[in-house]
Amino acid sequence: MRVHHLNCGCMCPLGGALMDGASSGPTARLACHCLLIETDRDGLVLVDTGFGMRDVTEPYARLSPLFIHLNRIQFDPRDTALHGVEARGFSRRDVRHIVITHLDFDHAGGIEDFPHATVHVMGDELRAARRREGFIAKRRYRPEQWDEVMEWRTYRAGGERWFGFEAVRDLDGLPPEILMIPLPGHTWGHAGVAVDTPDGWLLNAADTYFVRHEVDRPERECPPGARAYQRMMAMDHELHLHNQDRVRDLAHDEGAGVRIFCSHDPIELEALQRLSASDARSRNAGTRAGQWRGETGAHATG
Ligand SMILES: [Zn+2]
């Protein structure tokens, strides 16, 4: 298994550091952090899809003008999952599965760029997205982004827990290393995705938090703009904050050793991109060393 960290969308809302806690100018910088997983036997798996090619070419046919302008979405074909897949020498057909943390417009936009993929989502999320009840729900859930999906797989939590969290294991057709971790609050069926990688557990906590200091400090530190946006978008704000507390506890549990990231913090994304590049380099060096040992016969195992 190999994990790539992709950015599938940039948003530059007004507010600068009041939104992202870091920018020095008038606008903030938000990413759409997705995973592309090369599995050993089950092809490519995407975890979230950010914005897709059709969002880039026809944004107003697909997205709510409210969010296009509020989030100042920067539509660029290079910031799509399809570009990330093809830039690594694969084709859209190689993506066999998409695991979606939730069906918001900034996570589901690339789904239809991969028509051969089965889409995995919590059942509560698909029901809420199809109902679209209320002002925010009508604008966050955009059926244009997923009404052509041929194969849905929906789930509810159950079975063995994962570090104390409810979990969905054995996703249909996926390797056992990929789990969904329900973290409702932001939406009714919002879930994280945990991946047991060769370098340890990763948890994509999606929109459970927006800025890394909400979970990497002992107490939540969140700039006011990000705080207000999370309150506006939460279907159940108390539940959202409760699950954020649990993710913070996990982040500080050194024994667990889980590397956690959210969808929209670009600093987390860049750190993980650097880390996976250096892991790949050291793995390649390890392989070369192994081959050399094999050639000398010192550790030949056949
Ligand atoms: Zn989001």
Compute the Cα dihedral for 86, 91, 95, 100 and give only its sign.
Answer: positive
Burial class (CB in 10 A: 0-12, 13-18, 19+), 224: exposed
Tokens 């750190």 correspond to: 271
Please tell me the distance from the alpha carbon of residue 277 to that of residue 111, in angstroms, as a whole number.
26
Distance 292 CA to ligand 1 centre (A): 46
Distance 31 CA to ligand 1 centre (A): 9
Give, as residue ranges, everything with CB less than 5 Å from ion ligand 1.
106, 207, 263
Give the pLDDT score at 285.
66
Give the pLDDT score at 281.
74
Does 273 have pLDDT greater than 80? yes
Task: List the one residue out of 69, 190, 182, 95 whose CA is nearest residue 141.
Answer: 190
| pLDDT tens-place string over residues 44-97 | 999 999 999 999 999 999 999 999 999 999 999 999 999 999 999 999 999 999
Please tell me the distance from the alpha carbon of residue 231 to that of residue 221, in angstroms, as a whole number.
15
Does 299 have pLDDT greater than 80? no
Distance 162 CA to ligand 1 centre (A): 24
Distance 157 CA to ligand 1 centre (A): 22
Distance 183 CA to ligand 1 centre (A): 14
In sequence order, what are the beta bridge partners of 197?
Answer: 200
Burial class (CB in 10 A: 0-12, 13-18, 19+), 186: buried
| pLDDT tens-place string over residues 171-222 | 999 999 999 999 999 999 999 999 999 999 999 999 999 999 999 999 999 9
Q: How many CB atoms lie within 10 A of CB 236?
A: 15
Distance 107 CA to ligand 1 centre (A): 6
In sequence order, what are the beta bridge partners of 47?
Answer: 35, 99
Q: How many CB atoms lie within 10 A of CB 284?
A: 10
Distance 131 CA to ligand 1 centre (A): 19
CA distances from 96 to 24, 86, 90 (A): 41, 14, 12
Mean pLDDT, rounded, of the chain: 93
Q: Answer yes or no: are the C-beta atoms of 194 and 181 closer than 8 Å.
A: yes
Does 249 have pLDDT greater than 80? yes
Place 290 in a pLDDT band, splitting at 50, 70 and 90: very low
Distance 32 CA to ligand 1 centre (A): 7
Task: List Cβ neighbours of 270 (8 Å cut-off, separation of 6 or more).
Answer: none
Task: For the chain, give the number of residues.
Answer: 302
